[in-house]
Structure 1
Amino acid sequence: MTRRLDVAKLDTIAFPNSPDDPAWLGAAVDSIELLKTTAAGDEILIYAVGSALLIKGVLAPIAQVTPADQEDLMHSFIQSDDTWCIQKSYGGGEGHRVYIEPPLHSPGCKSLAGGEMLVFRRSFYGMDEVRPELELSQKLVHCLALHWLADRSAFCRLDARGDVEEVIRVVTRHRDDDRKKIEAVTILAKDLATYMALSDMALMYRFDFTRFIPARFSEWSEGARDNFSSPDLFYHTGKGPLASFANGCMIVRPQITKEDLIEEWKEEFNPKKKEYAVFKILDRKNNKEVETSCAPDCISSYFEKNDLPWHISPAFFRPDVLHRFKADPQKYSLDDRTISCRNAWFLKTYDINEAGQVHTYIGYLADLPIEEQRYWQTFNEWPKGPISKRAHENDILGEFSSEYEPLDEIKRKIAFLNERKPAWWSFRSDKLVAAVLYPVADSTKEWGDEILAFDQLLVEGFLQKPLRAAAKLEGASIDDKWGSLKILQELAATKIGADEAAALAEPLRRLHALRTILRGHSSTTDSKKAEQDARREFGTLREQFKDLAAGCDRALVTLLPMLGIPETFA
């Protein structure tokens, strides 16, 4: 677990506890201890500016600071607006020249020549109302594969679990008080060390901690000057009446080497390092239920002659295993047969059998990270029935499924409507389409959530005003207060009669009514009755949802041609 830098601690070196605190005003040198502590942590400063506080980190070629030329570095002059530029010069016997000039082209010392700026602040000259923002070295950001997320004020990436990781943070404290504002930039130490090792650089801090009361300051006392020097930390100090300063440099060298990084990379592919969980499975080869690890040496392919279970032996799970993935659609992509977690992992196939169990194959579980395997392991149980018919046809026989999947058919029709863009249809986003799934557990909440998503996807896709115009063209008498479903029914009535039209629209009306009952402002009694009716008629809420989806699909098959959609696509 990364120990994050507590940026609030910078307040202690930037501001006194009270305006005239003599102990604080005379102890600027104490700030160096905090800098040393942060430089040794998991997350380190590379920039910090505030009252009595100036820390600027740049990268220096290791060869030029080993050992450090302390006198040379103490003459360094680092400006945040020292950026890349197109330089124009004339003279020196060379005539007119135009060339690209890098940062740190003249930092006041030789040691930083060829180094790299990490943090920039450019000014938009002539546009004083534009506040200059901090910018990061694009070379650093790109090499670490980072992306700016404004809501986090950080350059981020996805970690091995698919979670957002803040690698470089841009922190502003006391944003609304210019007298107390602190701006700081931090980076995870391991990432900076990696970059430094690969670029043969070291981090060089130029720091200045100066404490005084402007209205009462006269001069620095000559007899109160001092110097400190160690190989990688050296600075000047001074004191005056109610004033002190510490000004100098500190070098932080990478604690890893290129060879370390190569070995670390090799270890990622070391099969002996990977862990595997144990699962209850149906051993199809030996026709028995067993517990086995999903490690490659514990399972086998069809072509190996041994007694080990096949890698496509199914493991079964309680349906609750899918709740985590349905609850976080930003992180997980879940469809009828596959699950993925951003860039972290991918489960090639899963399905739900007639007993309501989620199932997948032991060989595919082995591809998941060990943390994810352990999550699935907690829901693992012995089979209560065979795998689904669809899975058997697809995965075992290698055939297309013969099962009718109404929700898939509805989504196919919606995709066509999105492409065709009829006037009476509101485009449904991929996110909205992906959000609609069959309920997996016999949970009233999940059922209600899926009914809501289904209604939003389908019923809300029909636009009242264009439908009203289309119905009137067919001779239907339309009340301006009617909603889209009533208009569709009246339009259908002009083609097939009132009774058949009412029966045709009934599944759509039932879907919309259920949404109101389960997720609207209906009473708890109405919600409970709807649940009881669904269980009484269909056994489970999942089966009720499937039946409702089938009814809606049948309605679309008839309604869409009436609205000008070719029957082959309806």
Structure 2
Amino acid sequence: MAKLDPQSLDYLLQTDVLEDLIPRVGREQWQSLFVSRNDELGRFGLWCALIDDASVERVLSHYSWDLSIGDGKPGFSQSWPNGEPVIEYHPYGSGTGIRALVHRRSFYGVFSPYFEIDQEFRLYHDLAYDQKRGLLLAFDVSGREIEVVRISPERIEARLKYLRQYQAGTRQNLVIYVDSVRYSKLLFEDVGERRDSERNERVAWSRHVGACSFHNDFSTFSRVLFKIILRSPVIEKAGIWPFDEEGDEREVTFIIGVDENGENIEHTSSPDKLSNNFGANPEAPHYLTPVYFRREVLAKYFAEPDRYVISDGSLGCLELWHCQIDNDLETSVAVFLGDLGRDLPYEERLHWRQFNIPPEGEISETNFRRSFLAQFTDPSAVDLVFKEEYKRFAADWLKEIGWPFFLPLAPGDIHLADTIRIPVTNSQSEMDDQVLCLTKLLVDSLNEKEFARVGQPLADGAKGIAKLNAFFQASDFADRKAIVDFLKNLQLLRSTGSGHRKGSGYDKAIAKLDIDLKRKPEAFALLLDRGVAMLRALRVYYLDGEVTLD
């Protein structure tokens, strides 16, 4: 509301309440459901209730509140219509056609009072309660929080969209009540007593201005009572099944080819408008038409491993959605046109659309065998191969040898085994991140304690790679030099790159690893390939061979 001078006549007449607040009720993103404010200049209270259609006329026939704060709890009534007692249960309290949306829970001083939103509203929208922050939360198609209700001791407000959907589904009208009292030093002789009111099909309000005989510091006071009814929308606005919003049904087109002039050909990804193997839409592109994207499309998902999971042939978001992808290609990612429309939410389709490119080549052999021949096929992309080899080697080593070759990752690093990847961009920062990730997996996670126990004696202060080398020597591992050199150079690349300012040491590490950083994705792919070779060499000698460890 507009800020008025407490010494002005407008303040006493509460023109801001009548001319500013009333028109805004039900027309802003957040609707107050409870407000309690008291100071030396007056008090302001706002409350709410739900009423059925039959109660609208009765509610608007007077100006006082129909439901007090704290009312609306379940209970019984007893009557004697024919001289015999009749007991009736009232789930929403004794009021006819009226029920509470907000409950004030009080416990006679035994437990601190608090406010809560009616259970039906919470269940209707499947809201989570974050008690610490005082929030009721919904979640979007990617699992991100949507604040629906904000609760504090002085104010409760709800997002209007969710209120209106609930009204539509329950066929309830929302009533907002206000009781506003103000004190003024304006003399009663200058102001005079005033009583006015207004009532229509939406609003009923009354105002009384008079002498203030109950407050020595002020000469006059005013009181405004009003109630506004927000009628329930049509049931089609209920927002839940079968009246879900159609946001996900909005169509997004993708490039599926080029014409004779080299211009892009686009088509909707809506499955209902695609052909299939059962004769639907014979003139349209097939559901399984591959659509191609730059690899950068995956950066968003790699950046949030707690929310998204990218695995071999798959992209998923928590338990919300899942889409089959072909990430076994070297320079792009492919998805079937129909899967884009069926499996990805509208917002995600818009994200993918930004990275859409004309078709280049064919889908991967892996995807072809899985999708069309129903064959189980291992991936060929080196980052997918590395992740699979790393996890399988770690599990098999522990099972066969009895102690872990790689220590379990710390909770903050648990995602590394899933998110390590060929960089999707040519940026130095992404290259540094992936080098750091690979080093944590292959060097920092080495089980130094067991290597030192089984290996040859070492000088004091020997570190992880030295202990690993001693272990290799004790077990006569012939390929130890290649692996030890690779790990040392990888550690040097990390320590001189992401760990410190880049200089001659970084250039030395690059030269030793024999990689070209002009094309960073290819350079890191070489590092992953050597990591795969290391894991396979260890498997052949220690797990598949006849070597015996103490």
* TM-score for the superposition, normalised by structure 2: 0.76
Does residue 435 (structure 1) correspond to residue 419 (structure 2)? The answer is: yes
Residues in 2 aligned to 1:565 and 1:402: alpha-carbon distance in whole angstroms: 20
Does residue 509 (structure 1) correspond to residue 496 (structure 2)? The answer is: no
Does residue 518 (structure 1) correspond to residue 494 (structure 2)? The answer is: no
Does residue 279 (structure 1) correspond to residue 279 (structure 2)? The answer is: no
2:467 to 482, 487, 496: 487
Q: What is the correspondence of 1:158-557 to structure 2 with a 5 Å cutoff?
A: 158-160=139-141, 163-170=144-151, 183-212=154-183, 223-239=193-209, 240=211, 241=218, 243-258=220-235, 261=238, 265=242, 274-281=250-257, 291-295=265-269, 296=271, 299-302=274-277, 304=279, 309-341=285-317, 345-354=321-330, 356-367=331-342, 368-403=344-379, 405-414=385-394, 425-427=407-409, 431-462=415-446, 467-468=448-449, 470-474=450-454, 476-479=456-459, 481-496=461-476, 500-524=479-503, 526-527=505-506, 536=515, 540-556=519-535
Amino acid at match of 1:301: N
Q: Is the 8 A contact 2:204 2:228 kept in 1?
A: no
Cα drift, residue 393 of structure 1: 2.8
2:69 to 58, 75, 79: 79
Residues in 1 aligned to 2:46 and 2:223: alpha-carbon distance in whole angstroms: 12
1:145 to 126, 143, 148: 126
Change (3 A) 1:267 1:476: closer
Unpaired stretches in structure 2, ≥5 consecutive residues: 212-217
Match of 2:137 in 1: 156
- Write the deviation string for residues 202-223 of structure 1: whole angstroms up to 9, x where unpaired: 222232111227x9999xx993
Residues in 2 aligned to 1:382 and 1:206: alpha-carbon distance in whole angstroms: 59
Residues in 2 aligned to 1:290 and 1:457: alpha-carbon distance in whole angstroms: 43
Residues in 2 aligned to 1:370 and 1:333: alpha-carbon distance in whole angstroms: 19
Unpaired stretches in structure 1, ≥5 consecutive residues: 1-8, 173-182
Match of 2:57 in 1: 66
Cα drift, residue 554 of structure 1: 4.7
Change (3 A) 1:428 1:282: farther
Does residue 38 (structure 1) correspond to residue 25 (structure 2)? The answer is: yes
Change (3 A) 1:74 1:282: same
- Write the deviation string for residues 402-448 of structure 1: whole angstroms up to 9, x where unpaired: 55512221133456789998598335555343332232333332222
Cα drift, residue 31 of structure 1: 1.8
- Write the deviation string for residues 205-263 of structure 1: whole angstroms up to 9, x where unpaired: 232111227x9999xx9934444433443344233455433342413233412255499
Residues in 1 aligned to 2:44 and 2:408: alpha-carbon distance in whole angstroms: 56
Residues in 1 aligned to 2:266 and 2:503: alpha-carbon distance in whole angstroms: 46
Residues in 2 aligned to 1:264 and 1:473: alpha-carbon distance in whole angstroms: 62
Q: Is the 8 A contact 1:439 1:545 kept in 2?
A: yes
Cα drift, residue 500 of structure 1: 4.6
Q: Is the 8 A contact 1:47 1:55 kept in 2?
A: yes
Change (3 A) 1:546 1:184: same
Q: Is the 8 A contact 1:58 1:116 kept in 2?
A: yes
Change (3 A) 1:31 1:417: farther
Residues in 2 aligned to 1:68 and 1:197: alpha-carbon distance in whole angstroms: 20
Cα drift, residue 195 of structure 1: 1.6
Q: Is the 8 A contact 1:47 1:119 kept in 2?
A: no
Amino acid at match of 1:361: F
Q: Is the 8 A contact 1:426 1:462 kept in 2?
A: no
Q: Is the 8 A contact 2:167 2:238 kept in 1?
A: no
Equivalent residue pairs, number: 515
Residues in 2 aligned to 1:22 and 1:509: alpha-carbon distance in whole angstroms: 79
Q: Secondary structure at the match of 2:475?
A: helix
Change (3 A) 1:406 1:259: closer
- Write the deviation string for residues 119-154 of structure 1: whole angstroms up to 9, x where unpaired: 435468246xx6x54422222111111223468653
Q: Secondary structure at the match of 1:400?
A: coil
- Write the deviation string for residues 42-72 of structure 1: whole angstroms up to 9, x where unpaired: 431111122232101122333223342634x
* TM-score for the superposition, normalised by structure 1: 0.74
Q: Is the 8 A contact 2:239 2:245 kept in 1?
A: no
CA RMSD of aligned residues (A): 4.7
- Write the deviation string for residues 56-104 of structure 1: whole angstroms up to 9, x where unpaired: 1122333223342634x72645124x57589999xxx999x9x998564
Amino acid at match of 1:435: T
Residues in 1 aligned to 2:537 and 2:397: alpha-carbon distance in whole angstroms: 15
Q: Is the 8 A contact 1:43 1:189 kept in 2?
A: yes
Residues in 1 aligned to 2:544 and 2:69: alpha-carbon distance in whole angstroms: 66
Change (3 A) 1:85 1:496: farther
Match of 1:57 in 2: 48
Cα drift, residue 277 of structure 1: 0.4
